[in-house]
Structure 1
Amino acid sequence: MVDTVLIQDRYQLRERIGRGGMGEVWRAHDHALDREVAVKCLKPLECHGDRSFIRVLRERFRREARVAASLQHPGVTVVHDFGTDDGVLFLVMELLDGHNLSQLLQENGQRPLPVREILDIAGQVAAALAYTHQRDIVHRDLKPANVMRTASGDVKICDFGIAHLNHDIGVSSRLTSGGIAMGTPHYMSPEQIGGAYVDHRSDLYSLGCVLYEMATGTPPFDDGDAWAVLVGHRDTPPEPPRSHRTELPEPLERLILTLLAKEPGERPPNASALGRELAALRAGEWAVDPLAPPPGPSSEAPLGPPGGDARLPAWSSGITTGRKASHPVASGVTGRAYGPVPELTGQWTGLVQPPLVAAPGGVPPGPGTPPGAVSGPVPRPGTSGPAPEPATTLADRHQRALSLGRLGRWHEAEAAHRALATARQHALGADHPDTLASRYEAGFALCRLGRYADAARAYEQVAAGRGRRLGPDHAETLAARQETAYVLGRLGRHTEAHQVYSAVLEARVRTMGADHPHTLRCRHNLAFNLSRLGRLEDSYRMAHEVAGARARVLGADHPDTLVTRYEVAYALGRLERWDAALRAYQEVTEARVRTLGADHPDTLAAHYEAALCLGRLGRTEEALAAYRELAAARTRAHGSAHPETLRARHGVGVNLGRLGRWEEAWSEATEVAGARAHVLGPDHPDTLVSLRESAVALGRLGRWGEALEAYRQVADARQRLLGAEHPDALRSRYDEAHCLERLGRARAAARLYEQVDALRRWPGVSPR
């Protein structure tokens, strides 16, 4: 333990939990926010000597660390802070409670993992890679030691943004000729080994190596000789995984071998496509023995010549195989907390052992007892009834429930989480973090099912339990309270939501600071809720402030920044400041094209709002062009029958009518109404809106008999669905009466006007 080293007078280093060629990782205490964190200290910059190099490296570090800090995804380790202290580069990250895949394999006796577990881990890693690759960030050092599985079952990738920095600090191929060892090549892609261009498909190859090892217990090339490993990656087809483990499903083997293709173009095109394939595999039930016997030895790959292989890069002349996933974590402390150290194990965070479960008779297992090695469940003191399930069984059930959610099977996921919460309460207690975590997940599933009242009750229960167990200002307590506010808003209880958001915001500012991403997210939600309360000016001001803060903290083009800038534009539209709203939407659209792509749903959403603003401003020709462009993009991205494609086509029809091109407007509206009836149903509000646009065009064309039929169909449907006194139903009856007038049926029109006037209980609508 070292309690004397302070980084920037804020982070007190407590215990070293990892060491490597780049530096060390410490468990530390953040005195400013009173929380435990992990601090990764890289080697002192002065060890490089060249001052100009040091300046470039420091700026590169800031840029790469800012990239890592901007990543906001459940599958990526959160970076809280970064900087330099006495020549040392450091990163402050969330402290994870769990094990990396190296440790999981080691604890499993280097035997393969169950197929269900492999698919769950791979699916979560693929989702994280899809997120980062969309932002043009390539990890470059994906390996078991850089993939963490937390106690709750979530999987997180570590060292994003910093792996690229390795090339500048010295743990890279181009610097090994100077005597700096590179580290293990077991997970390197052929293009990395050959010094060729590296893109996101290199990460997919590395993930294939990780999956191979999880599935068989050994990396694809593992002959103990550096040349064999390098040449194997570059030239030799890997042994099929089923040659090591015959019970592996063939589709999983095919997928792994596809990931390990030598040519990047032969691998899956991207991580999103890989995620879809994994989801299809997870949908199957694979009966695989979790304690499968260890695979046999792998066949030897051809060794390189003793004098080296001229086709391999020069930097590889001194490489060794390094340490595989099974290498134990280094121990001991030498020199300063961040002094140079000899090797990089990758096991640098979250080395928190799970709590030992009492053995029968209430005697805890000894120090050498592996986690979960307990002969049977034991009732908690003071309880009666059936014995609770062991912790390992409960953790496995938690993973299965999470997997159901990832597959979109929310009804099953909610039932599974609810049942698990009951089981965990019996085994651990009502306020145990694991029990509350299951109740939280059940609330999330209820949200996805639209059962907001039930979700509100679940979140309120979790918030109360976490408040008792962790304290009212703990981050997890505040997270549950913030979710409570969200579902209150979805229930239309905006005043109550406002009160909860305000209280959570005050606590977040007090405990995390005004510019913390969680604080800014809460302020964003509060701004959104203000607009629902009709406080439009207040909503606009707060959203504008949050957008500026997010741009400063996360970057101008960060997705969260753009979400808030979108909200600013929406508030401007509600205030009828259409010119300013248009500019704001156009800026968001341009930024999302740069960061997400032209056909991303978020980009297209901003595109739609910009087109709407053009119409509001009377710039009809531009609006028509924008809607047509949007309809083409929606068709390309989602298909011609997608509701959002039809929404864009509806805008095309409306603006054709505004230009007086009524034949085209009628044709477009009629086609959209028919498509919406088929996709959404004949009585869906969007279908009825398009049917009314068709009626308007028919009237403009003088085809009043057909228009009357369409108006009457809309009015009947709205009266049936909404009630005779609903404003939309009454407006439709006015449309019907107007048609009767144009057809010369004045007496029938007058009777209908009188009926509507008698029902009218709402202001602001003229009868004609």
Structure 2
Amino acid sequence: MADTRLIQGRYRLLERIGRGGMGEVWRAVDESLGRSVAVKCLKPLGPQHNRSDENFVKVLRERFRREARVAASLQHRGVTVVHDFGESDGVLFLVMELLEGRNLSQLLEENKQAPLPVPDVVDIAEQVADALAYTHRQGIVHRDLKPANIMRLTDGAVKICDFGIARLGADIGFTSRLTGTGIAMGTPHYMSPEQISGAEVDHRSDLYSLGCVLYEIATGVPPFDLDDAWAVLVGHRDTPPVPLREHRSELPDFLERLVLDLLAKTPEGRPDDAAELCHRIAAERSGTTGGHPAGVPVPVLPYVPPQHPPRVPAQATPPGHSQPGHPHPDHSHPGHTPSVHPPAPSPESRLPDWTRGMTTGHKAAGSSLAALHATPYDPTAGLTGEWTSPVMPPPVQLPGAAPAERPTPSPELLSVLASRHNAGLSLGRLGRWDEAGEVHRAVAEERERALGADHPDTLTSRYEVGFTLSRTGNAADALREFAHVADGRERTLGPDHPDTLAARQETAYVLGRLGRHAEAHQVYASVLAARERTMGPDHPDTLRCRHNLAFNLGRLGRLEESYRTAQDVADARARLLGATHPDTLVTKYEVAYTLGRLGRWSDALHTYREVATARGAVFGADHPDTLAARYEVGICLGRLGRSAEALDLYRELVAARTRVHGPAHPETLRARHGLGVNLGRLARWEEALQESRDVCALRERVLGADHPDTLVSRREVAVGLGWLGRWADALGAYRQVAEARDRVLGPAHPDALASRNDEAHCLEQLGRHAEAVELYRHVAALRRQVAATG
């Protein structure tokens, strides 16, 4: 392959920039897209394998493709991007983003093994923990985390390399570096005790390896700095590490505690997950780092929220005592959803972290911007209203003078703005969206003054403003922000640039939230065409857009098209990512939902059960996504008349939700609501009425009297009263619901009209026929008026 210098007629190899036990890394250019890339050529066989062993080669190639697809699916600012993979002349290769910087091993060597500055150690710890939190949510364990696999870029960003590929080492047959045959997975200085003993490993093994890395960059030596390989392994397994401050007294106490916690001998003794690690660092660093090292300020990518769809408040059920049609929130924010259902899968509007997606969705929305964490940041910086940095005033424009040239902003100002931007991202991670929005608005204004309205950093801040507006229910304002960002990026980056397409996709998402589904469809279709043209049909961003398009088709009532599109995406994701990848399961959930809307409840039940089983295996039985899929199984059982089975399932769900969330959580109450509905379907009306009253009282206390879920429960109380023949009491409950919906939604809203029909039906049962007829006529007139106005 090196002789031709061209791989697959596309990747031109220019210069070998690295060589290791698993092959070589080349600086190259992608001649199709005109961008610089790194190409890693992997040796498929070790010397102990016979090249005639075709079965082994076949297995190896399949494993490589599977692992490469996993690596290519990871879309996070802290993970090296994999663009492509394949085989050329018998050599397997990966095409990755070209990183400019040094790995941590090189940094230590250049520093003559002296430890790194404390602020750098803390910043690296936080960025690596954030990347691990994302990848572990995808069910991916690195297994070979070490300084050589962690890059510190010239702009301060930190990236983990070889995700998804480290596992190939054992299959390919390389041994550890201490045997003299090259570097492979499980380098002894950074191996967890469970790896050493050959036990099953999970994400906590990566946390142990991270503890070893942090120990070394904080002290200059690994935790077990011994010459003999066996002594190193025994040290990991049996010997407590020397406290860090015995090597370096100025290290902060919290950093020593954190690293020693990571180095616990058993997985149970370590932090539960990397997300917990991020929270600990964010909570401590402002009081421990004492300032930020100077650095070159650079643009910072938007934070991508976790891949699991947020829980969506529900709306009212259709009239009549039957389980309502399958819900589906409009995007990942509050929408119209019948309360008896859990939220359906959200469209993956925010480009992942996979979630969900990532999604958000999320798959960084500005994936081609230069940097991610330019400088270490204080999560509380800039939240008191005090501005301590030098502020760049706007250029003075004298009457009749030529336009003033914008002064070059000071590095100090840009560094503070990058730090404040990161503080806004941290607030978003904590769900404090109002505060995050204030921070991003302030940063956007200062960046516009210092850099200009169309500068990528300014547009990135405006993008984050739009996202916080969307998360706080201000869809119309979010739409204006995203439209502004899309226009600016199109001017500066071009219409097909990934960042431009990301902003346009957010525009479609918000249009859907506003109920403007026809317009959203046009934008989604346009973005999809551009993504297919520039990225290919199987690129993760292309598939995400097609997933969203499928959802929007459903909102337009084009159910068959929605089903076919979602099924195509599910098949593609299963092929590329695997049948149990979270993204594959999100789309299969969408397929099941559309099957339900098409009335194909048996097919929907089968698909939901597949999703629930896979999520249970991947995430655990009590994970919210697993429980959501099981809830939908209950909906299908009820629709198929199998209410006794549904009742048993809902009892289990109520117990699980109570255990996970608590007795008054909206998801627990939603499960209890489903239990009450199925009690009614089994004609156990006294029990159903009591359950509905209890749930209604809790929802009123937790959510408010006029919340859609509360009104659904109040209506369920009325239904139970009616079935028990207590029509006068039922009439009062129905009227409460109708008046609240008139007040909140407007008298012509479909749910308000349905409530008035309920009221008229109750009047009929009471023999008040004239009043009932008048109310029916009033509802019919309002419906004609709505139809006439479109």
TM-score interval w.r.t. the shorter chain? Answer: 0.7 to 0.9
Q: Which amino acid aligns with 2:41?
A: C
Q: Secondary structure at the match of 2:736?
A: helix
Q: Secondary structure at the match of 1:139?
A: coil
| More displaced stretch, 269-278 vs 200-209 | 269-278
Aligned to 2:244: 241
1:208 lines up with 2:211 in the alignment: yes
Q: Call closer, same or farther: CA 1:155–1:415 in 2, change over 3 Å.
A: farther
Aligned to 1:663: 686
Pairs within 5 Å for 1:358-397: 383=405, 387-390=409-412, 391-397=414-420
> Equivalent of 2:91, from 88, 91, 97?
88
- How many Å separate the matches in 1 of 2:481 and 2:391? 31
- How many Å separate the matches in 2 of 1:492 and 1:141? 47
Q: Secondary structure at the match of 2:80?
A: coil
Q: CA deviation at 1:557?
A: 2.3
Q: TM-score, normalised by structure 2?
A: 0.76
Aligned to 2:290: 288
Aligned to 1:43: 43
Q: CA deviation at 1:577?
A: 2.7
- Percent of aligned pairs sharing the same letter: 67
Aligned to 1:333: none
1:757 lines up with 2:760 in the alignment: no
CA deviation string 1:68-96 (max 9, x = no partner): 33445554333333233233221122334
Aligned to 1:268: 271
CA contact (8 A) 1:46 1:54 kept: no
Q: CA deviation at 1:40?
A: 1.1
> Equivalent of 1:574, from 580, 597, 609?
597
Q: Which amino acid aligns with 2:774?
A: E
Q: Secondary structure at the match of 1:140?
A: coil
Q: Which amino acid aligns with 1:189?
A: S
- How many Å separate the matches in 1 of 2:441 and 2:461? 7
Q: Which has the greater radius of gyration?
A: 1
CA contact (8 A) 2:178 2:229 kept: no
1:11 lines up with 2:21 in the alignment: no
Aligned to 1:29: 29
CA deviation string 1:600-634 (max 9, x = no partner): 22222222223222222333223323333332332
CA contact (8 A) 2:692 2:716 kept: yes
Q: CA deviation at 1:150?
A: 5.7
CA contact (8 A) 2:150 2:161 kept: yes
Aligned to 1:550: 573
Q: Call closer, same or farther: CA 1:74–1:597 in 2, change over 3 Å.
A: farther
- How many Å separate the matches in 1 of 2:250 and 2:392? 30
Q: CA deviation at 1:146?
A: 2.0
Q: Which amino acid aligns with 2:498?
A: A
Q: Call closer, same or farther: CA 1:525–1:216 in 2, change over 3 Å.
A: same
Pairs within 5 Å for 1:24-423: 24-43=24-43, 45=45, 50-51=50-51, 52=53, 54=57, 56-96=59-99, 100-102=103-105, 110-115=114-119, 121-133=124-136, 136-148=139-151, 155-173=158-176, 177=179, 180=182, 185-193=188-196, 197-216=200-219, 218-222=221-225, 232-243=235-246, 249-278=252-281, 280-281=283-284, 285-286=287-288, 288-290=290-292, 383=405, 387-390=409-412, 391-423=414-446
Q: Which amino acid aligns with 2:541?
A: H
Q: Secondary structure at the match of 2:166?
A: coil
CA deviation string 1:37-88 (max 9, x = no partner): 3211123637555223555544443343343334455543333332332332
| More displaced stretch, 483-492 vs 448-457 | 448-457
CA contact (8 A) 1:725 1:760 kept: no
- How many Å separate the matches in 1 of 2:246 and 2:771? 84
- How many Å separate the matches in 2 of 1:554 and 1:179? 32
CA deviation string 1:275-323 (max 9, x = no partner): 45445446x644524469xxxxxxxxxxxxxxxxxxxxxxxxxxxxxxx
Gaps of 5+ in 1: 293-349, 357-374
- How many Å separate the matches in 1 of 2:22 and 2:729? 77
Q: Secondary structure at the match of 1:45?
A: coil
Pairs within 5 Å for 1:489-568: 489-568=512-591
Q: CA deviation at 1:121?
A: 4.4
CA contact (8 A) 1:48 1:54 kept: no
Q: Call closer, same or farther: CA 1:265–1:537 in 2, change over 3 Å.
A: closer
Q: Secondary structure at the match of 1:761?
A: helix
CA deviation string 1:734-765 (max 9, x = no partner): 54455556556x4xx64465356346534499
Q: CA deviation at 1:511?
A: 1.4
Q: Call closer, same or farther: CA 1:751–1:290 in 2, change over 3 Å.
A: closer
Q: Secondary structure at the match of 1:39?
A: strand
Q: Call closer, same or farther: CA 1:108–1:161 in 2, change over 3 Å.
A: same
- How many Å separate the matches in 2 of 1:562 and 1:547? 8
Q: Call closer, same or farther: CA 1:742–1:531 in 2, change over 3 Å.
A: closer
CA contact (8 A) 2:151 2:160 kept: yes
CA deviation string 1:547-581 (max 9, x = no partner): 22222222222222222222222222222233333
1:694 lines up with 2:721 in the alignment: no
CA deviation string 1:432-476 (max 9, x = no partner): 333333333333333322322333233223323332333222222
Q: Call closer, same or farther: CA 1:523–1:199 in 2, change over 3 Å.
A: closer
Q: Which amino acid aligns with 2:645?
A: E
CA contact (8 A) 2:756 2:775 kept: no
CA contact (8 A) 1:733 1:752 kept: no
CA contact (8 A) 2:46 2:173 kept: no
Aligned to 1:309: none
| More displaced stretch, 154-163 vs 380-389 | 380-389
- How many Å separate the matches in 2 of 1:743 and 1:44? 81
- How many Å separate the matches in 2 of 1:398 and 1:74? 15
Q: Which amino acid aligns with 2:212?
A: C
- How many Å separate the matches in 1 of 2:529 and 2:770? 59
Aligned to 1:600: 623
Q: Which amino acid aligns with 1:685?
A: P
1:630 lines up with 2:650 in the alignment: no
- How many Å separate the matches in 1 of 2:178 and 2:410? 55
Q: Call closer, same or farther: CA 1:101–1:542 in 2, change over 3 Å.
A: same
Q: Secondary structure at the match of 2:473?
A: coil
CA RMSD of superposed structures (Å): 3.8
| More displaced stretch, 495-504 vs 197-206 | 197-206
Q: CA deviation at 1:3?
A: 10
Q: CA deviation at 1:712?
A: 3.5
Q: Call closer, same or farther: CA 1:422–1:13 in 2, change over 3 Å.
A: farther
Aligned to 1:642: 665
> Equivalent of 2:464, from 431, 441, 458?
441
Q: Secondary structure at the match of 2:520?
A: helix
Q: CA deviation at 1:498?
A: 1.6
> Equivalent of 1:469, from 462, 474, 492?
492
Aligned to 2:302: none
Q: Which amino acid aligns with 1:138?
A: V
Instruction: Tell me the matched-pair count.
Output: 681
Q: Call closer, same or farther: CA 1:232–1:588 in 2, change over 3 Å.
A: closer
Q: Call closer, same or farther: CA 1:720–1:56 in 2, change over 3 Å.
A: closer
| More displaced stretch, 724-733 vs 546-555 | 724-733
CA contact (8 A) 2:761 2:772 kept: no
- How many Å separate the matches in 1 of 2:49 and 2:261? 44
Q: CA deviation at 1:507?
A: 1.4
Q: CA deviation at 1:161?
A: 2.1
- How many Å separate the matches in 2 of 1:107 and 1:672? 64
Q: TM-score, normalised by structure 1?
A: 0.79
Q: Secondary structure at the match of 2:13?
A: strand
Q: Secondary structure at the match of 1:89?
A: strand
CA contact (8 A) 1:737 1:750 kept: no
